[in-house]
Amino acid sequence: MSYCVTYSESKVGLLLSFVKIKHCNCLSDNCDCGSKFYAVINQCTTNLLPEYLNCTHIHEISTTSENIVVDVSELCRINYYINMGDREFCAKPIMKFEFN
Ligand SMILES: [Zn+2]
* Cα of 30 from ligand 1 centre, angstroms: 8
Nearest one of 1, 96, 87, 2 to 46, comparing CA atoms: 87
Per-residue pLDDT, 32: 82
* Cα of 53 from ligand 1 centre, angstroms: 54
Per-residue pLDDT, 100: 47
Domain positions in the chain are 3-23+35-98
Per-residue pLDDT, 97: 60
For residues 4-30, give the mean pLDDT: 90
Per-residue pLDDT, 98: 56
* Cα of 35 from ligand 1 centre, angstroms: 8
Q: Contact, 19 vs 41, CB < 8 A? A: no
* Cα of 7 from ligand 1 centre, angstroms: 29
pLDDT tens per residue across span 23-80 = 888 887 788 888 899 999 999 999 988 888 888 889 999 999 999 999 999 999 999 9
* Cα of 11 from ligand 1 centre, angstroms: 33
